[in-house]
Amino acid sequence: MGDQVDGEAATVSEIPHRLTRLQRAMVKTMGNAVSTAALSQVTREVEMSSVIKDRETRSPRPSINTYIMAAVASRLGSHPMLNGRLEGREVMVPDQVNLGIAVSVAEGLVVPIVRGADRLSFTALGEALAVAAGKARDNELTFDDIEGGTFTVSNLGMFGIDGGFAIPPPPQGAILLVGRVRERFVPDDKGEPMLGSLCWFGLTFDHRFIDGSTASALLLDIDAALGDAALLTDNIGSPG
- Report yes or no: 240 and 222 within 8 Å, Cβ to Cβ: no
The C-alpha atoms of residue 6 and residue 175 are separated, in whole angstroms, by 53
Candidate list 54, 138, 188, 211, residue with the active-site label: 211
211 a catalytic residue: yes
Q: Which residues contact 111 (CB under 8 A, 6 or more apart)?
A: 100, 101, 102, 103, 146, 149, 152, 169
Cα end-to-end span (Å), the chain = 70
200 forms beta bridges with 45
Given a contact cutoff of 8 angstroms between Cβ atoms, the answer to whether 140 and 53 are in contact is no
SS in 3 state form for 25-56?
HHHHHHHHHHHHCCEEEEEEEEECHHHHHHHH
Residue type, 158: M
Distant-in-sequence, close-in-space partners of 229: CB < 8 Å, separation ≥ 6:
50, 51, 53, 54, 55, 67
Residue 207 is among the residues annotated as catalytic for this protein: yes
CA–CA separation, 224 and 210 (whole Å): 21
Angle 162-166-167 from CA coordinates, rounded to 5°? 180
Q: Does residue 69 contact residue 128 with C-beta atoms inside 8 Å?
A: no
Task: Pick the catalytic residue from 162, 207, 221, 228.
Answer: 207
The set of catalytic residues is 207, 211
